Amino acid sequence: MATHTAPILDRIVESRRASIARLKASGAVSGLPQSVIAAPPVRDFRGALSRPAVALIAECKQRSPSGGLLQRDYDPVGLARRYAANGASAISVLTEPEFFGGSLDHLQAVHAAIEIPVLCKDFIVDPVQVMGARAVGADAILLITAILEDGELASLHALATRLRMAVVVEVHSEAELQRALGADAAIIGLNNRDLTTMKTDRATTARLRPRIPAGRLVISESGIDARADIEELERLGVNAVLVGESLLRAADLDSKVRELSGR
């Protein structure tokens, strides 16, 4: 079953469900199957992260409930190009509009501008979102265990897999990790941010990483600010990190990307 969530997370999920309902009522989803067929070929997200060193997934987002406004003149394409040029292995694009200032248009533009894989970062609760992400070029999607029932997690995971996208299943606790493993998740995202308090603690990754069986690709998310953090996570056996705010707040973004990517 879905984990009990915090008011802010509940508000985000309610907003997404309402938006999906409006979309369905308008009839705008009728063309999705054809759009999926016409979408660009899927890039190998897992392969891009399967390297000897810890890979960097660099995130494009304008704002967040925890960090506030991060980019006043938000240019996701410009950011993605700089990320890719300075060593990022993949790009994460926020597509949630109300709380993060994102859109599927951002993802589509980013995918067209770069050659590395793109992750759709959203609060996905409906198959329409999975199909919409693929239609604009997403190579991978994020599924958040805390907001999904077991049946929803399984069906959304299966749909994305049929569409040849990679699926990052995000967890924050032992119980959520067991649910992710039960869904046969091949890529596990360990979120160091507690979504009930919005506080971050990298000890979450240290606690959960040993419980993940061999053969899974492991991503550590949130609270990663410096090269020393990456080296600590590498010792724990983490394959990749997802970083947003520390890049977006950096005085020298290009240098920060090189630092975290190990260039």
Q: Is residue 177 part of a domain?
A: yes
Q: Which of 134, 133, 117, 39 is nearest to 80 (CA)?
A: 117
The answer to whether residue 2 is domain-embedded is no
Q: What CATH number has the domain bearing residue 205?
A: 3.20.20.70
User: Comparing C-alpha atoms, which of 4, 56, 62, 54 is closest to residue 194?
Assistant: 4
Q: Going residue by residue through the chain (263 aa), what tens digit of pLDDT does each one get? A: 565 456 889 999 999 999 999 999 998 888 899 999 999 999 999 999 998 999 999 999 998 888 888 888 899 999 999 999 999 999 999 999 999 999 999 999 999 999 999 999 999 999 999 999 999 999 999 999 999 999 999 999 999 999 999 999 999 999 999 999 999 999 999 999 887 777 888 899 999 999 999 999 999 999 999 999 999 999 999 999 999 999 999 999 999 999 999 98
Residues with catalytic function: 59, 61, 121, 170, 191, 221-222
Residue 136 is assigned to a structural domain of this protein: yes
* Distance (Å) of CA 22 to CA 121, 137, 196, 243: 21, 23, 28, 32
* Amino acid present at 118: V
Kindly report the number of other CB atoms within 10 A of residue 189's CB atom. Answer: 26
Range of the domain at 129: 7-261
Which candidate, 213, 212, 233, places its Cα nearest to that of 223? Answer: 233
pLDDT at 194: 82
Does the residue 190 lie in any domain? Answer: yes
Compute and round to an integer the Cα radius of gyration of the chain.
17
Is residue 220 one of the residues assigned to a domain?
yes
Count of domains observed in the chain: 1
Structural contact between residues 56 and 244, judged by C-beta atoms closer than 8 angstroms: no
Could you tell me if residue 123 is inside a domain? yes
